[in-house]
Structures are given as C-alpha cells and as structure tokens.
Amino acid sequence: MFTFTITAKVPGTLARAGIIETPHGKIETPAFIPVGTKATVKSLTPEQLRDLVGAQATLVNTYHLYLQPGTDILKKAGGLHKMMNWSGPTFTDSGGFQAFSLGADHGRRSKIAGAHSREQAAADFSRSADVEISPNAQTPFARVDDDGVDFKSVIDGSAHRFTTETSIDIQHAIGADIIFVLDECAAPDADHAAQKKAIERTALWAARCLVRHQELKEEKNSRKLSEAAKAAENEPHRQQTMTASSVEAFPPSALYGIVQGGRYEDLRKESARTIGAMDFDGFGIGGTFEKGDMATAVGWVCAELPEHKPRHLLGIGEPIDLILGIENGADTFDCVAPTRIARNGSVYTRNQGRLNLLNAQFIEDFSPLDPTCSCYTCTKYTRAYLAHLFRAKEMLAGTLASIHNLYFVVHLVKQARQAIIEGKWVEFKNSFISP
C-alpha cells in the first residue's frame, strides 16, 4: 500500500504538509530522510536513529549495496529491513549518480556546480556517497549509452554494468518501500545540448523502468498467489476467501521518476512535464544546481509536476536549502552532509550557523552545542567535551556530533511541517533566515 495525502498548504507558495503511507509505516511530510549508504547511518544504531534522532525513514545506496554485500546476501537475509534491523520506511536510490560520478566521459560530478578537476570530482563523489574510495579501485570510469552505463567498482576496480532493468531488479531485491528510476545526471557545467540529451535519455530509461517494475510486481503477485494456493490445499476453508486482491505482493515498492535538466529552466520544465505524465507513484528532483539557484530550479519543477503525488529532493540537506526547498514544493529530502560534517568536527546551530569544534575557542566552552536544541547530545554534553573527543580522535565524537546534526535537521523540517499546519509558515521562515 502506498498513498500520499496533502493535509495543509501555504498560500502563495508551493509548500505543503502531507502524509506518505508505506507498507512499513507513514512518513509525515515535509521530512528529512537520513542516509544509511551501506545499510547503516554511520556511527549510529537503528535504535539511536529512531529514538534519539526521531527519523521516520532512511535511504540506502543501491550502487554500494550491489557491490557489497550483494543482492544474494540481501535476499538470504530477508531484505533490507531485516538485515539492518530497521522497521520503518526505506528509500533506495537507483545507483546512477554514483556510477556516473567518476566517469571519464562525464568528467566532474557534484550536486552543486563548482567542481573543476578529476581530483575534485573524486572528493565530491566520496562525500556524496559517504564512503571512502579504495586505492585498489585504481582509475574508475563510466561509459553511458542508451541502454545503460558501464562502470568500475570503487572497491576493487572490477567492471560492472547498470541497465534500467538491472537497477530495478537490484532495488526490488533490496526490498525498499520507495525506489527510484535509473537516470542520467549530467555534469554541473554541462551545456544546454548535453543537458538536453540527458533529459531525453532519462525519459527513455524512466519508461523502461516502469515496464520492468510492473513485471516484477506481477511476478511477485503470481508467486504469492501460488504459495497461498498450496497452503490452502491443506486448509480448504481458506480457498473461499483467497483472491488475487487479498494476497499482498512483497515488497510492494513505490517507484519514483526523476526530473533532470541542470540549471536550464526550459529543460527542467520539459523534463518535469515528460516524467510527470508517466504513471509514477512520486517524483525525485535530481541533477545539479547552481549554488544560489537551487530553490528556483525546484520551484520550476514542482510547478509542473502533478500536485497529488510526493516529491523528493535528492542529495540536498543544508538547513537553509531545506527551508527553501519546502517553500518551493519538495516533500522529502536526503543528504549525507549532517553526518559527514559531524565526523569532521562541525555541527549545526540555530543562531550561530555551523561551528567547527576543532577551533581553540571551544576547548573551555562548557555550554551545549546549541542552547536551543533538545537532542541527547545537547542535554548531556558540552562543546568542551566534544572538542576534547575530536582532538583525542575518540570514536564517540562522531556519534555524539552525528546525533546532534541529524536531530537538528530532522526536527527543523518537523518544525516547518508544524508551521505549515498552523498557518505560521512566514513567521517560521523569517525566524530561521533572520533570527
């Protein structure tokens, strides 16, 4: 079962509050979805993610789970939820961005324009995926054609290929509630012609993903019906109530299409209209953005997409970007930034912006990370203690900082939702942007 219900809107904007219903529970939107790249949010247990952070769902990376541990292990484990002991809703991306990120044919990849070298691309890729690239991988590459993308593993340099069909197959094997089509993400500095080609290929792949997704759903329904029929042979009274509609397919994943187009308004709108006309359960907004124009580009897209379906903004998670993304129509978000910067000693605060706890000023600062925050870290520990942990290179440092950063962004978006419901969006936005 997958549904989306809009419960409140903000007049004069595209902001709205809603509820996504999935087989593993509901997601109250807007919502920030923490990223668990390899079926783990780095340094946190699933219980901490749920109880201390308040996360409603998590997103995992198809590319990396395909490479390690692989779909066979995931199937034997009973799917993602059982393997990682997470009972709530889950998302998987398609793996396309990661496969393209170090491509020799595509050059520089990052979510925000500005990478200028292969070395910078590698750094952007590592940060976006929240992983370290193995030296055994040597020089990764990617070659794309109309049927898919060839790439080398960042683990050992072995050759692999993603097609639309294999990407959907892998995501079904993972068993997530919400999955995404394979798309082509062009480089941030790609010109209009290159971006045009990318949205055309993305649309071609989207249609093929829909076909494969439906085939797998029908196969699973058929298999479930067959299993139920065999069981009913031993219990004749069950035969009278068993029908195709009464047997639930597993996993009943919802499929999202993805809109591309880079920084070009005409291409963003064209892609949104094309993908929006297809029978997807929801939509992802992908690709690359000019740093100052992200919110505008999101608004272009959301104005074209069907209003009654949810929209996910891929890979964006800075606090100000979340607020502007919500105002321009995005319902859910994911990003590795909160945990990545936490492990490097940086934390978000409401009134002081981002703090670097490695700075000398925090060595004797016995105040909480953020006096306005009610997270586990802020209620029990001080800036001085975390500064000590980071300087001493203790593992606990990353855990405590990650708990705070994730709590900060998760609850920032929850506060945004409440402001929308209460009709106080303008006051909330202004208090955050100009405290």
Q: What residues are labeled active site?
A: 93, 334
Which among 348, 282, 338 has a CA at the least distance from the CA of 315? 338
Q: Letter for the amino acid at 5?
A: T
Alpha-carbon gap, residue 184 to 192, rounded angstroms? 14
With H, G, I as helix, E, B as strand and everything else as coil, classify residue 207.
helix
Alpha-carbon gap, residue 398 to 7, rounded angstroms? 37
How far apart, in Å, are the Cα atoms of 91 and each of 177, 194, 312?
A: 6, 29, 10
**Burial (CB count within 10 angstroms: exposed 0-12, middle 13-18, buried 19+), residue 139:** exposed
**Burial (CB count within 10 angstroms: exposed 0-12, middle 13-18, buried 19+), residue 411:** middle
Which DSSP letter does residue 312 get? E
Q: Cβ(317)–Cβ(338) under 8 Å?
A: yes
Alpha-carbon gap, residue 412 to 136, rounded angstroms? 40
Alpha-carbon gap, residue 210 to 206, rounded angstroms? 6
Structure tokens at 146: 């109309």
For 54, the enclosing helix (H) or strand (E) is none
**Burial (CB count within 10 angstroms: exposed 0-12, middle 13-18, buried 19+), residue 417:** buried
